[in-house]
Structure 1
Amino acid sequence: MYAVLFADAGLSAAEISSLFILWSVSSFVIDVPSGIWADAFSRRLLLTLAPGLTAAGYALWTFLPSYPFFALGFVLWGAGGAVRSGALQALVYDELTRLGSSDAYGRLIGRSRAVGTTAVMAATALASPVLHLGGYRAVGLASVAVALLGVPVGRSFPESRGDGGREEDQEEKRYGAVLRSGLAELRGAPEVRRRLFVVALVSGVDALDEFVPLLAKATGAGAATVPLLVLVVTAGVAAGGWLGGRGTTWAGPVLAVASSLLAVGAWSGRPAGLVAVAVAFGAFQWAIVAADLRLQEQISDGARATLTSVAGFGTEVVAVLTFAGYGLGSSRLAAGPLFALAAVPYAIVALILWRSRE
């Protein structure tokens, strides 16, 4: 719903897109360095710091609602996501492996995404009454409070690797060794590179979900109906997360069908078309989990966070292109056709996976 906040603050579609681009740029500038740090030292520490950065960004939006502070808030939000990127997947996969349960990774990550999406659904459902009672200030304060709850949650994660504690004169050497190890693995393993590309493309185009409120609004739905339409799409994403880790060999055909549903549903220009969009976004969420699982199975423990962050870097590059494409296209096309065009990258990934029989 933040896209609507920015629009109500007087920002154009192009200005909103520029904010999302700044978000992605700040993310990929920090992504890989933070991943190397997570492999060299502590993944849990980064998971503890990330929510605080995001909360600071929300606070700026709440108390200083203008383009410059929206921009600074996006930088902080991007930083929060970047320091979490790679560290979370690496910590979870390695701890599950230590317990002999690495096969549960896909289901666990999928369910965690679903829980997060379900929380978004609850927040979306509450958006209308909260906006009515307290306006954007009330929504912003709630966002800050919820983000800060993530600090103790991040600290609660187990980490058998410890929280660092190495001698300071070994830090630079350790950081450099992790970087060299990750680069060597990336250069020497074509299959890892292919899986990184698939993760980046599928996850990056998924950034289009930030514009779902604008798609819902473009159908002609009233202001009170838009949150409900967004809720339908969010429900589809949650369902895809709950199914994560299952039937991953069908990724190619599923993405082919989903890309068609996205194109048809978005192009229809009707509120009912968002049901097809919801199914498509659910399939995309499922495919992201499947792609992440296949990547984790291919990379080594010592560079896991580093290479997962490389995938995150690629994701943000694709996201920037997505945001830029939407912003540039918005001057000529409505939201429906723009979303329909976004089906093309998914169709390309579907073809790649189909040919490799994944």
Structure 2
Amino acid sequence: MEIQSNIWKLYGIRFFSGLIPAYVIERLYWEQHGMSVQMVVYTEILFAVSIVLLELPSGIAADRWGRKRLLVLSATLFCFEFLILLVADQFWHFALVVLLAAVAHAASSGAASALLYDSLLQEGRAGAYERIAGRMQALDIGAVMLAALSGSWMATHLGLAFNYQVSLISAGAALGFALLLREPRPSPQAADSDDGAAPPMRAYVGSALRILRSTPGLPLVLMCWMTVGAAVTYIDEFWQLYLDQAGIAISWFGLYSAALFLIRLPGSLLAHRLKRMLRFRTLLMAIALTASAGLIVMSATGGYVGLAAMLAVCAVAGVLEPLAGGYLQHRIDSELRATVGSFQSLGEHALGIVAGLGFGLLADRFGLLSGYGFLGALVALAAVCVAVASRDAAP
């Protein structure tokens, strides 16, 4: 019965980790404290490089030392992020925050789902994983929307720093729930196989690379997924400046932030139906071309037309994640799921570095809109590569 309490504790962690009103005014707060677009891009690159270096080691650490320890570490660093941001006024302060965020992200990326599954397995309810995970996702959406809507009001009436104070309280609550977690017992098979030897990382990496090379269509799917994902990252990071340039008042930021998140939900829920209605290659190309067109419209028009195009890009991105994720999971062996998934994350962040360099350079020299034009061209190039290559290796 004690292990059953992990479920509601994980609910608490997910809710309070999403209840962060600072995110709705983050770029404005950073800009007020001396961070230019190019500086923010440098921190994004730092984040991406850190994720690339930490993704695989953190997964092994969670398996070897316990998932709870990694979740507590992640929640602790989450608190320190907001403590530093409350007094940050130099570039290195923000760089330190981003580095802590990267470590926290890597520490929790696989540990939470693994602890949830093992907790259910210990209760004999492993079949309920999808249902419980779906509830957590819904709870996260609700928390993000609540934080967005309340955050814009708080920023307007109480100042931008107040949002960070409230976010620190939420991060502290998430840490409290993490400390209450109980580590599930290892399965009998895992206990028997654990001889204390270090995991054969080189063998795992080699096997994962062989799967990526030998599975028809998989590199094409990953190319599209990573390119669109990297582009959407810079929508998520800079939409506040886009709205500010369009003359939108801060009081509307929360509503638009909620819309950006909510617009992805229908695609996530309908992806499996769209897959049955259309050929996978056709659907993949439609997503890439729509995302590219939306980014180019954002660059060319600005204003309310650009805001509508931004919503369209996020909508198709919501379809792509479960679609490409399912394609990946159906074609790899169970013992390599985490490793191959980590390669996808590594690739997306590595591509994010390239995209960020071009985006930041153009945004600083010619304005934010030109940066989105560069991202649109990058996604269009990926779509062309998928179209040409998939004639021989159609997914």
**Is TM (by shorter chain) over 0.5?**
yes
Deviations 1:149-192 (A, max 9, x none): 4443697699674699979x954x232x2442342232354226
Matched, 1:2 2:29: no
Q: Against the structure 1 CA distance between its residues 320 and 50, is the aligned structure 2 distance closer, same or farther, given a 3 Å change threshold? A: same
Partner of 2:289: 256
Partner of 2:203: 180
Partner of 2:7: none
Q: Is the CA contact (8 Å cut-off) linking 2:260 and 2:314 kept in structure 1?
A: yes
From 171, 177, 182, the equivalent of 1:147 is 171
From 228, 237, 241, the equivalent of 1:210 is 237
Q: Is the CA contact (8 Å cut-off) linking 1:30 and 1:79 kept in structure 2?
A: yes
Q: Is the CA contact (8 Å cut-off) linking 2:359 and 2:375 kept in structure 1?
A: no
Q: Is the CA contact (8 Å cut-off) linking 1:95 and 1:159 kept in structure 2?
A: yes
Give the deviation of 1:263 after TM superposition: 2.0
Letter in 2 for 1:293: G
For 1:226 and 1:200, the matched residues in 2 are separated by 27
Partner of 2:94: 70
For 1:298 and 1:41, the matched residues in 2 are separated by 29
Structure 1: gaps spanning 5 or more residues? none
Q: Is the CA contact (8 Å cut-off) linking 1:245 and 1:293 kept in structure 2?
A: no
Letter in 1 for 2:210: R
Give the deviation of 1:139 after TM superposition: 1.0
For 1:52 and 1:29, the matched residues in 2 are separated by 20
3-state DSSP of counterpart to 1:338: helix
Q: Against the structure 1 CA distance between its residues 279 and 199, is the aligned structure 2 distance closer, same or farther, given a 3 Å change threshold? A: closer
Matched, 1:14 2:31: no
What number of residue pairs does the alignment pair up? 353
3-state DSSP of counterpart to 2:303: coil
Q: Is the CA contact (8 Å cut-off) linking 1:207 and 1:322 kept in structure 2?
A: no
From 318, 323, 329, the equivalent of 2:351 is 318
Equivalent residue runs for 1:294-313 within 5 Å:
294-313=327-346
Matched, 1:346 2:379: yes
C-alpha RMSD of the superposition: 3.7
Q: Is the CA contact (8 Å cut-off) linking 2:152 and 2:254 kept in structure 1?
A: yes
For 2:179 and 2:311, the matched residues in 1 are separated by 30
Deviations 1:245-265 (A, max 9, x none): 542432332332232133224
Q: Against the structure 1 CA distance between its residues 124 and 38, is the aligned structure 2 distance closer, same or farther, given a 3 Å change threshold? A: same
Q: Is the CA contact (8 Å cut-off) linking 1:201 and 1:314 kept in structure 2?
A: no
Letter in 1 for 2:315: G
For 2:225 and 2:72, the matched residues in 1 are separated by 25
Partner of 1:27: 51
Q: Against the structure 1 CA distance between its residues 28 and 178, is the aligned structure 2 distance closer, same or farther, given a 3 Å change threshold? A: closer
Deviations 1:194-226 (A, max 9, x none): 555444333333211211111212223334344
3-state DSSP of counterpart to 1:203: helix
3-state DSSP of counterpart to 1:63: coil
**Of 84-93 and 154-163, the range deviating more from structure 2:** 154-163
Q: Against the structure 1 CA distance between its residues 36 and 306, is the aligned structure 2 distance closer, same or farther, given a 3 Å change threshold? A: farther
TM-score (normalizing by structure 2): 0.74
For 2:302 and 2:335, the matched residues in 1 are separated by 49
3-state DSSP of counterpart to 1:29: helix
Partner of 2:148: 124
The structure number with the bigger radius of gyration is 2
Matched, 1:283 2:316: yes
Q: Against the structure 1 CA distance between its residues 122 and 188, is the aligned structure 2 distance closer, same or farther, given a 3 Å change threshold? A: closer
Structure 2: gaps spanning 5 or more residues? 1-24
Q: Is the CA contact (8 Å cut-off) linking 1:232 and 1:274 kept in structure 2?
A: no
Q: Against the structure 1 CA distance between its residues 286 and 214, is the aligned structure 2 distance closer, same or farther, given a 3 Å change threshold? A: same
